[in-house]
Structure 1
Amino acid sequence: MADKHFNIGDMFEMVADAMPEREALVCGNSRATFQQLEQRANRLAHYMSAQGVKAGDHVGLYMYNCNEYIEAMLACFKIRAVPINVNYRYVNEELLYIFDNANMVACIHHREFVPAIAEVRDAAKDLKTFISVEDATEHDLSKIGATEFEAAMSSQSDQRDFDERADDDLFILYTGGTTGMPKGVMWPHKNVFFAAMGGGGFFSPLGPLEQPEDIVSRISENQMIGMPLAPLMHGASWWYACILILSGNKLVLNPLRSFDGEGIWQVAADEKVNSIQIVGDAMAIPLLESLKGNEDRWDLSAVFNIGSGGAVFSPAKQEEFKVQFPNCFITNAFGSSESGNMGMDNGNKKEGDSSLGNVARSEFMDVIVEGDSPAEARHAKPGEQGIFSRSGYIPAGYYGDEAKTAKTFIDVEGKGKIWLLTGDAATLEEDGTITIFGRGSNCINSGGEKIFPEEVEQALKAHPAIYDALVVDTPDDRFGAKVTAVVSVREGFDVSLKAVQEEARKLIAGYKLPRELHVVAEVPRGPNGKPTYAEAKKIALSQEFLVS
């Protein structure tokens, strides 16, 4: 028998063997026990192998939430292939970029996306195998040479007869990059397991694993039922799904295509969900509104935890949840695609503090002060501000981007210990704790979605009427921040917000579109032509040049 490793495939198999009949996964009307999940993943793994997918190959997962998403992830891990999350909101250029940048050889997708794939597949030279998950659409699979998901598995063995795996098999998570195009964060399995999944110790008093076989002893005796509300294409939801499954708990996926508070509470009541994971106020607000408008409609007595990560979860909304769920504990985690879980807010924020929260410093968690070059970076002194950083279990870098890797993963003070710079501004307090202030760059976080101004600006400037454009964030009650455009218009032209959105939608996904438009005579730039974002934000906040 092959040795076991800190590999998600190995650990899942041990959990499935320990309790095959326990229910593992629910999404809408689809349900699966651990044994069924194991067998279906084996069949899919055998089919992909038969199509030539091998260890190290990249497989796109281009789906809405569904059981097949989890089955596909596990199937990849079983044959040491690498699953790649594809944002289903992407349009032509974005989709082509990730298919090509990730060097995908296969793609598992909902049938709805056949036309989108057909538009870009010829330019993605390595992409040969397509497996289509059924939905309500009837697109012709022959258009891209796809095989239907169930048909692909029907003649395959459900036996486990795969090669030995390794701790450093990769789990790649695509996230936004500084240019706006997605970057593939390369996580070795062992590192992501300990950095983002608690090392198997989230639900056990025994704490993190010491060896892979310990996973069985961490299985919860009383099964907990957890429900991440974000799509699985987002890292926080994907990781939470793994946390639940690897602890023998039940994963309930949100089957709804749009965020519907009433629909979500109905699922939570039907499935007796214990823990709900949200992404900040963007989800908190509609959930709370649904509760206020439907008192006593649902039996939510099973809910004992509401946790957030990935976006601002305001103290006011946390307090509102405490009113609705007086016996519930609220958690607010810090982290990113590159860092995993960087801890929970420890409640040490001072009154009037505008920070995101406060966490403990450790030998693996610190504030790094950047110099003019990576070689000049140093550890912060008490009272200094710098970049929230992590060492230890961190990614191996960005896929295919050595330059960005070198800037983000650095050897601080030449001690041979690599630190990840998260990009979040933070202060090392006199008491040794770390106060976090959020993204130090111009990245816009709108409801947990990362939106980069440069990308939106390029889309806006493709409009024939727009001469110049800058994009900033302005406050939004629901999403925390909204995309706001400050533009100048060519002589003889006129623009409206709707017209600008319609044109930009041809180039960027809908969630990146500006929600406000401000037209000025000249977009603020410095003498060297560089954008003056602070001035653009002042213009936007003044509302003086707002155009509807």
Structure 2
Amino acid sequence: MVSLTRAWNFADAWESVAARLQDAPAQQQQDQIFTWSVFNRRANGVAVALLQAGARQQDKVAQYMYNCPQYLESIFATFKAGLVPVNTNYRYTDDELVYIWDNADVVAVVFHGVFAETIERLRHRVPGVIVWLWVGDGSGPCPMWATDYEVCAEQDTETNVQGPWGRSGDDLLLLYTGGTTGMPKGVMWRQEDLFLTLDSTNKKRLPPTPQGDPIGERSLRPGPRNLPAAPLMHGTGLFNAMSNLTVAGCIITMAGRKFDPAELLDTIEKYHVNSMSIVGDAFAKPILRALDSEPQRWDISSLRVIVSSGVMFAAETKQGLLRHSERLIMVDALGSSEAIGMAQSTTSAAGESKTASFELGPNTKILTEDGREVQPGSSEIGRVALKGNTPIGYYKDPEKSAKTFQIINGVRWSIPGDWASIDIDGTVHLLGRGSQCINTGGEKVYPEEVEEALKLHPSVADAAVVGVPDERFGQAITALVEALPGQNIVEADLIAFIKQYYAAYKAPKRVIAVATVGRASNGKLDYKALTEIALATLT
């Protein structure tokens, strides 16, 4: 029996699974399978290498890789050694990489070989890094200044490794945010808080465990086969993968380095994927288009659950996916790096939820700016707020921490900035981030709701909505629209289309056709850059 008072650490949890299910698969990429025994042993080897290089208690280790088995393996090693993993966006420029690694006080970087040239240019600018672990990917030899990751992983280290300081539920994970409203910020999650938050999600979809043991009997048999379609460098992919490992699952990663719906569907069929994580319509729409274009090509009957977070997942897209598999359950989770599990909606053949409509979690409220709770059916709007197991703040940024993590009437809340209203029945309607709100003629318009309506038009692949300065209205709503292949964007048609859904003041004054809106792999848009494009086009 596991004590209810123990401090949960992911290394302890995963070692427990490895001890019970040594020969079960923990990770797989194409036909390469890593059993739980191998996963554990290789993580031990990497942990030893980090400690021998001089890493000390809670030093930071950056993962600078595409999705691959070594990504989670190196995180496991980091947890074992009592160190802190730091996600790194592989799309960042040299200056952004230097900022992240300097801001996070990184001492070790695990990187794919394809990034060796980039690191060669900038490594003199991050003198705090004491070891570079090179993950071979066929792009060239290991540089002289780096250490071969595979040599470290293949050390004969059957004994579970710890640093001399041991492990704790207070050990951290640093998750850097996307930085669309400024430079990225490092969200500090205590492992125990993150473990319990992810376990509460597992409780909703898995059988209960006895005596409150979050691992318990779940690790007596292999768990779900999970495919993180979203990059592991973002919270949606990473946290879903970590959650599935905790229930003895197998994480299946794709070898391709750009999202390809055909590769994803091939992987689901060939490796019998049970669940996958995506980032809303940015992933779901291309998947649906592939299925619609070749409805007999793929057997996706093994897939039972799709979890989405980070961006809108339209009801129409969900219904389209259900046409191809009535067994699907789609979970649309409202959350962020700073607040996991604020609310969710579930769609299946038995019932559906409207776009951007959610059921609040037990620790979630809608609060006004002065801290009052928004009452259901009041038509008042407020910010979505989460209490309970939340991050301790932003790394080395007490000012921004105080703005997001607020104490109201003696209760600590995480308030990332999502605005919403709540119906009389408790259904929450997400409006969008307050930082992107457009004030046009005294009316507030949230870009996300207009974007979602635009994407329902048969000519539109994706859309972004920004406000540009306007002498009459203060800000004029402007849409940047990406067309589907073979389609043309007609401004008047789209403006009229929006007026079918919303009040006239929410309709764009101008529509600009663009080759791409530049949606990132985490589903986010760079509204500052898009506004500059709009201004340059209109002037």
Shorter-chain TM-score above 0.5: yes
Alignment partner of 1:308 is 2:302: no
The Cα of 1:195 is off from its aligned counterpart by 2.1
Q: Which digits, 9 at most, give the CA deviation of each residue in 1:202-235, with x for residues without a partner? A: 5432169835xx4132337464211110111011
Aligned to 1:378, the other structure's residue is in SS state coil
Q: Which digits, 9 at most, give the CA deviation of each residue in 1:130-183, with x for residues without a partner? A: 0000012116612xx111111234445331142531111101111134642111
Q: Which digits, 9 at most, give the CA deviation of each residue in 1:350-390, with x for residues without a partner? A: xxx9861121363x21011114xxxxx33333422110000
Distance in 2 between residues matched to 1:253 and 1:71, nearest whole Å: 13
Q: Which residue of 2 aligns with 1:489?
A: none
Change beyond 3 A, Cα 1:202–1:228: farther
Q: Would the aligned equivalents of 2:142 and 2:148 in 1 still touch at CA under 8 Å?
A: no
The Cα of 1:50 is off from its aligned counterpart by 0.3
Change beyond 3 A, Cα 1:342–1:220: farther
Distance in 2 between residues matched to 1:301 and 1:340, nearest whole Å: 29
The Cα of 1:472 is off from its aligned counterpart by 7.5
Q: Would the aligned equivalents of 1:14 and 1:216 in 2 still touch at CA under 8 Å?
A: no
Q: Which residue of 2 aligns with 1:406?
A: 402
Residue 439 of structure 1, aligned match among 427, 430, 433: 433
Q: What pairs up with 1:136-535 in 2 under 5 angstroms?
A: 136-138=138-140, 141-142=143-144, 145-155=145-155, 157-163=157-163, 164-177=166-179, 179-198=181-200, 200-206=202-208, 210-211=212-213, 214-219=214-219, 221=221, 223-345=223-345, 356-360=356-360, 362=362, 364-371=363-370, 377-382=371-376, 383=378, 384-413=380-409, 415=410, 417-442=411-436, 474=480, 476=482, 514=530, 517-518=533-534
The Cα of 1:331 is off from its aligned counterpart by 1.8
Change beyond 3 A, Cα 1:354–1:474: farther
Aligned to 1:379, the other structure's residue is in SS state coil
Change beyond 3 A, Cα 1:174–1:271: same
Paired letter, 2:423? E
Please, which runs of 5 or more residues in structure 1 have no aligned partner?
A: 348-352, 372-376, 455-469, 479-496, 502-508, 521-539
Distance in 2 between residues matched to 1:511 and 1:25, nearest whole Å: 36
Identity %: 31
Greater CA drift, 100-109 or 321-330: 321-330
Aligned to 1:54, the other structure's residue is in SS state coil
Distance in 1 between residues matched to 2:289 and 2:425, nearest whole Å: 39
Change beyond 3 A, Cα 1:514–1:386: closer
Q: Would the aligned equivalents of 1:308 and 1:333 in 2 still touch at CA under 8 Å?
A: yes
Q: Which residue of 2 aligns with 1:51?
A: 53
Distance in 1 between residues matched to 2:332 and 2:220, nearest whole Å: 23
The Cα of 1:254 is off from its aligned counterpart by 2.3
Distance in 1 between residues matched to 2:88 and 2:528, nearest whole Å: 16
Q: Would the aligned equivalents of 1:394 and 1:420 in 2 still touch at CA under 8 Å?
A: yes
Q: Which digits, 9 at most, give the CA deviation of each residue in 1:460-479, with x for residues without a partner? A: xxxxxxxxxx997645578x
The Cα of 1:518 is off from its aligned counterpart by 4.0
Paired letter, 1:107? V
Greater CA drift, 152-161 or 309-318: 152-161
Distance in 2 between residues matched to 1:370 and 1:125, nearest whole Å: 43
The Cα of 1:412 is off from its aligned counterpart by 0.8
Q: Which digits, 9 at most, give the CA deviation of each residue in 1:464-509, with x for residues without a partner? A: xxxxxx997645578xxxxxxxxxxxxxxxxxx99xx9xxxxxxx9
Greater CA drift, 435-444 or 165-174: 435-444
Paired letter, 1:62? Y
The Cα of 1:119 is off from its aligned counterpart by 2.3
Distance in 1 between residues matched to 2:296 and 2:19, nearest whole Å: 40
Change beyond 3 A, Cα 1:453–1:126: farther
Q: Would the aligned equivalents of 1:245 and 1:251 in 2 still touch at CA under 8 Å?
A: yes
Q: Which residue of 2 aligns with 1:459?
A: none
Q: Would the aligned equivalents of 1:105 and 1:126 in 2 still touch at CA under 8 Å?
A: yes
Distance in 1 between residues matched to 2:477 and 2:82, nearest whole Å: 41
The Cα of 1:329 is off from its aligned counterpart by 1.8
Q: Which residue of 2 aligns with 1:528?
A: none
The Cα of 1:56 is off from its aligned counterpart by 0.6
Q: Would the aligned equivalents of 1:62 and 1:108 in 2 still touch at CA under 8 Å?
A: yes
Change beyond 3 A, Cα 1:29–1:141: farther
Q: Would the aligned equivalents of 2:315 and 2:355 in 1 still touch at CA under 8 Å?
A: no
The Cα of 1:299 is off from its aligned counterpart by 2.4
Q: Would the aligned equivalents of 2:66 and 2:112 in 1 still touch at CA under 8 Å?
A: yes
Aligned length: 463
Paired letter, 1:367? I
CA RMSD of aligned residues (A): 3.4
Distance in 1 between residues matched to 2:364 and 2:248, nearest whole Å: 29
> TM-score by structure 1 length?
0.77
Residue 12 of structure 2, aligned match among 10, 13, 17: 10
Q: Which digits, 9 at most, give the CA deviation of each residue in 1:95-153, with x for residues without a partner? A: 111011111001000111112122222222311210000012116612xx111111234
Distance in 1 between residues matched to 2:142 and 2:250, nearest whole Å: 35
The Cα of 1:441 is off from its aligned counterpart by 1.4
Paired letter, 1:390? L
Change beyond 3 A, Cα 1:155–1:16: closer
Distance in 2 between residues matched to 1:286 and 1:263, nearest whole Å: 12
Aligned to 2:332, the other structure's residue is in SS state strand
Q: Would the aligned equivalents of 1:6 and 1:193 in 2 still touch at CA under 8 Å?
A: yes
Please, which runs of 5 or more residues in structure 2 have no aligned partner?
A: 348-352, 438-446, 453-461, 468-475, 485-513, 519-524
Greater CA drift, 237-246 or 435-444: 435-444
Aligned to 2:185, the other structure's residue is in SS state strand
Q: Which residue of 1 aligns with 2:504?
A: none
Q: Would the aligned equivalents of 1:339 and 1:394 in 2 still touch at CA under 8 Å?
A: yes
Distance in 2 between residues matched to 1:152 and 1:322, nearest whole Å: 45
Aligned to 2:311, the other structure's residue is in SS state coil
The Cα of 1:277 is off from its aligned counterpart by 1.9
Change beyond 3 A, Cα 1:55–1:328: same
Paired letter, 2:374? A
Change beyond 3 A, Cα 1:229–1:51: same
Paired letter, 2:368? V
Distance in 1 between residues matched to 2:10 and 2:481, nearest whole Å: 40
Paired letter, 1:271? Y
Q: Which residue of 2 aligns with 1:81?
A: 83
Distance in 2 between residues matched to 1:473 and 1:180, nearest whole Å: 22
Q: Would the aligned equivalents of 2:225 and 2:274 in 1 still touch at CA under 8 Å?
A: yes
Q: Would the aligned equivalents of 2:180 and 2:526 in 1 still touch at CA under 8 Å?
A: no
Distance in 1 between residues matched to 2:253 and 2:178, nearest whole Å: 24
The Cα of 1:294 is off from its aligned counterpart by 2.0
